[in-house]
Amino acid sequence: MTSPHPAIELSGISKAFGPVKANKDVSLSVAAGSIHGIVGENGAGKSTLMSILYGFYEADAGEIRVRGEPRRIRSSSDAIAAGIGMVHQHFMLVEPLSVVENIVLGAEGGAFLKGGIARARAELARLSQEYGLAIDPDAIVGTLSVGLQQRVEILKALYRGAEVLILDEPTAVLTPAEADQLFELLRALKAQGKTVILITHKLREIMAVTDRVSVMRRGEMVAHVETERTSPAELAEAMVGRRVLLRVEKSPRQRGAPVLEAAGLSVIDERGCETLRDASLTLHEGEIVGIAGVAGNGQSELLDVLAGLTQPARGVIRLGGQILNAADRNPANLRRLGLMHIPEDRLRTGLVTAFAAAENAILGYHDDPAFGPGPFLSPALVEKHARVGMQDYDVRPVDPTLKTAKFSGGNQQKIVLAREIERAPKVLLVGQPTRGVDIGAIEFIHRRLIALRDQGVAILLVSVELEEVMALSDRILALCGGQITGEREAVATDERDLGLLMAGVSERAA
Amino acid sequence: MSAAPIELPRWADTALVPLVSVAAALVVAGLVVLSIGESPLEATALLLRGSLGSLEGLGFTLYYTTNFIFTGLAVAVAFHAGLFNIGGEGQATVAGIFAAIACLWLAPLPGILLVPLAILAAAAGGALWAFIPGYLQATRGSHVVITTIMFNFIAATLIVYLLVEVMGKAGSMQPETPDFPKQAVLTPIHELLGAFGLKLPSTPLNTSFLLAIAALVAVWALIYRSRLGYAIRTVGANPRAAAYAGISPARIIMVAMAISGALAGGLAVNEAMGVQHRLVLDFTAGYGFVGIAVALMGRGHPVGVGLAALLFGVLYQGGAELSFDKPTITRDMVVVIGGIVILFAGALDGLFRRLVASVLSLGRGKTA
């Protein structure tokens, strides 16, 4: 702790991928011999920053200092030479090989294995002793538990002389007991003078193990704090962001009959994790229900299951009072029943970017007889339809033949919005309506959603912008770890209150 | 500004890049010819004269072109659905078996019924042989690249068995069927035009060439003008968006593969019903594989496929003439030249895209 220089110093790091600024003028100082947490939502730029530090990407601007020395890190071997090791979220291990073979991989020290393996074996024994890392050097990696495989990754980094260890979402794959063992190990490493950078979006872990925390949001570093002096609620607030309050004019809601009811919905993903647990909610005509939550806590799963893109493991969905069977729950049928969906990720789900704008304006509705005779689509009819929508929704430029990838994010979003809203939905599922959209378009989109609500449409709004959820919603549900942790009337809550719910501090503590 | 995918104007993507690729291929092929002591210019002149310089040469060129149009379209349709169908050979083989069965079993029928039925049988055979890999891909995740190539082997042994043991001509040692009935034979173009008083030399070119042209138009209408084509392109470009739009990627994969196989069946129509008038072993002769290069070069667009098919027709026919006139340039040399064209037009395409993009951006200065 008293080392004269910080272990790692980043100053003014910027990195853009095309028009997307993944890191904007990021600075970070990590004290030697400390455990430093970096938190932020998915896509906040944590992984990009660490990839720059580990040499996967080169920053467009900025400086990296390691123990006070400026270093250019252009590859992972530069990073290793600078004493930086990384444990990836998805392990980089060769499963059929033994522990010791994995450890020497890439550091064999010559054309023949024998010497390298012997050296590794000795070193492994020493490291195991020093950090209490019991592991059989001859075990086949594929047969080890996930927790032990992670240890192999850590040993690999230590074998290469890492002084600074970066762990990317290390507990995502661990059981709680394994996570506790990992934290023990991290403390042991710290006691031996190693520096640990822990990337996560789980606030409990940050509170449990780190000395300092840095918070990233939308590519920027927004806070550096001592862990002792902060709280999960404060961190959640910093992660989600408090922006200039978005004022949205809205009249009192005229709530009608319930249209979409879900009871006890659970979703199990292909890895067997329960990403949505026993969620129940009801949407009424003429109201906007917002979902507040740190990204990755079940919002996407909730939208997908309601939109018919995934099937629930358990639970019942009713639309207009009718129970939807598995056969009814497909996107085409739900659209016919008046349930429209503006997906969270317009580029990956909502649009085919290689298509002309006009072709995207009929995505999901290409069977509509209005667009051509019999099995054919008439380009003239499709383009005319798209032009009307683009004019109504102020898409610029109004060119239905232009490739969708060439429109700005806001205009792409308006193409999706026009397509889904135009068809007079009864229920509208909206995911991240203003992500990557400029201010002018945000206002426009908000006004449209409010107008739709006033016409009696039931709207479910998922957004990472807490401000947006608060400004638009009549009622707010908080999600944490796939569970609904609370429900509030929008007028009767504030950011602190929601922040606690989002951090999983349940009702009893509130 | 953006670095990731290379963005090109449409005209450059569809015309300029393939032209640059072909030009580069010709330069390299010229160097190969030069290295064995022959003049590349003379060789090129011979090649062009042999393929386009006479009505007879042109007839042969268009006969080859017919095969390449069918196999190129087959690969192109699958491409649009994001699938790589390299089973054209096997699909054409099974199509040939189906066509032969139709021609021989339905022999009493008049030509006006028999020919369309035999063509439909060929399409059905090709469709079936592509549908099975499509089904396996859609429901089991077995990759079509692997399964279609395996199905090529199955078809190759199936036809040997059938021609030797089941459908073979009685009393013949040749692995081939008896001749098809006369009314099942597709009219040669020289006879067709002869009826109008035009005297043309006798070539294998037959009415299946017209069928190929019709297939080009039909595939264009399917892909760019129909609801099904829209669904196929959506699945190919973004399967997630397709699922979101209520299009079942699994169903589209099966349908697109079946259409692809049916088109490959056109190769059997041309060879068996148009030229050989019976089913023989190995009639597919690698046309199915060259179809991949044709589709790649033609950017999957029917106009491009038509032009690329013509180019390969010229190479095949002109190459044959060239090796006949110049004994030093053997048949194998011609295969090398064809291979160079495939390499440059298909595999090295990215090389020239980058080059063309940087030349174009130089021309436009800093405005972009």
Element (H, E) at B272: none
The model's confidence at residue B2, banded by pLDDT at 50, 70 and 90, is very low
- The total of other beta-carbon atoms located within 10 Å of residue A93's CB is 20
Give the pLDDT confidence of A306-321 residue by residue, as tens digits.
999 999 999 999 999 9
ipTM value: 0.86
pLDDT of res. A22: 83
Selected residue of A349, A352, A423 to mutate for chain B interface (largest B Cβ count, 10 A): A352
Q: Which among B52, B58, B346 has a CA at the least distance from the CA of B44?
A: B52
Of A18, A366, A375, the CB nearest to B2: A18
Interface A-B: count of C-beta contacts within 8 A: 71
Whether residue A3 has pLDDT greater than 70:
no
More confident position, A271 or A283: A283
User: Using the beta-carbon criterion (under 8 Å), do A309 and B237 form an inter-chain contact?
Assistant: no
Residues 205-224 of B with CB under 8 A from A: 221
Q: What separation in angstroms does the CA of A175 have from each of A153, A204, A479?
A: 17, 14, 21
pLDDT of res. A42: 62
pLDDT of res. B259: 98
Q: Identify the closest residue of chain A to B226 by CA–CA distance.
A: A376
Give the mean model confidence (pLDDT) for residues B281-290.
Answer: 93
Query: Edge-to-edge strand order for the sheet containing A288-292?
Result: A339-342, A427-431, A458-462, A288-292, A475-480, A483-489
Instruction: List B116's β-bridge partners, or say none.
Output: none
Q: Identify the closest residue of chain B to A331 by CA–CA distance.
A: B246
Sign of CA dihedral A76, A81, A86, A92: positive
Give the mean model confidence (pLDDT) for residues A134-153.
Answer: 86
Q: Which among A370, A350, A463 has a CA at the least distance from the CA of A414?
A: A350
Q: Identify the closest residue of chain B to A305 by CA–CA distance.
A: B244
In whole angstroms, what is the distance from residue B268 CA to residue B287 CA? 11
pLDDT of res. A197: 95
pLDDT of res. A204: 78
Of B3, B4, B245, the CB nearest to A364: B245
The 10 Å CB-count burial string (b at 16+, else e) for A307-323 is bbbbebeebebebeeee
Amino acid at B69: I
B228 at A interface, C-beta within 8 A: yes
Q: Please provide the average confidence, as pLDDT, over all residues in chain A.
A: 87
B237 neighbourhood in chain A, CB within 8 Å: 352-355
Helices B249-268 and B88-105: crossing angle in degrees, nearest 10, is: 60
E strand intervals along A169-250:
195-200, 212-217, 220-226
Q: Who contacts A373 (Cβ-Cβ below 8 Å, separation ≥6)?
A: none
Give the mean model confidence (pLDDT) for residues A280-285.
Answer: 96
Of B3, B231, B238, the CB nearest to A366: B231
Give the pLDDT confidence of A429-463 residue by residue, as tens digits.
999 998 777 667 788 899 999 999 999 999 999 98
CB B341 within 8 A of CB B296: no
Helices B111-140 and B88-105: crossing angle in degrees, nearest 10, is: 140
User: Using the beta-carbon criterion (under 8 Å), do B241 and A19 form an inter-chain contact?
Assistant: no
Residues 242-281 of B with CB under 8 A from A: 243-247
Q: Which among A449, A361, A454, A452 has a CA at the least distance from the CA of A411?
A: A361
CB A134 within 8 A of CB A99: no
Q: Which among B152, B160, B103, B162 has a CA at the least distance from the CA of B126?
A: B152
pLDDT of res. A246: 54
How many contiguous H segments (helices) and E segments (strands) does chain A have? 16, 20
Sign of CA dihedral B302, B306, B308, B313: positive
Burial class (CB in 10 A: 0-12, 13-18, 19+), B52: middle
DSSP, res A508: G
Q: Lowest mean pLDDT of A160-169, A282-291, A335-344, name the range.
A: A160-169
Q: Which among A484, A339, A346 has a CA at the least distance from the CA of A415?
A: A346
A354 neighbourhood in chain B, CB within 8 Å: 237-238
Q: Identify the closest residue of chain B to A345 by CA–CA distance.
A: B241
Residue % of chain A over a pLDDT of 70: 93
Sign of CA dihedral A496, A499, A505, A506: positive
Taking the C-alpha atoms of A248, A253, A255 and A260 in order, what is their torsion angle to the nearest 10 degrees? 0
Q: What separation in angstroms does the CA of B268 have from each of A37, B122, B252, B272, B300?
A: 66, 7, 25, 5, 22
CA distance B126 to chain A (A): 23
CA distance B304 to chain A (A): 19
Q: Which among B81, B103, B123 has a CA at the least distance from the CA of B266?
A: B123
B241 neighbourhood in chain A, CB within 8 Å: 348-352, 363
B233 neighbourhood in chain A, CB within 8 Å: 352, 355
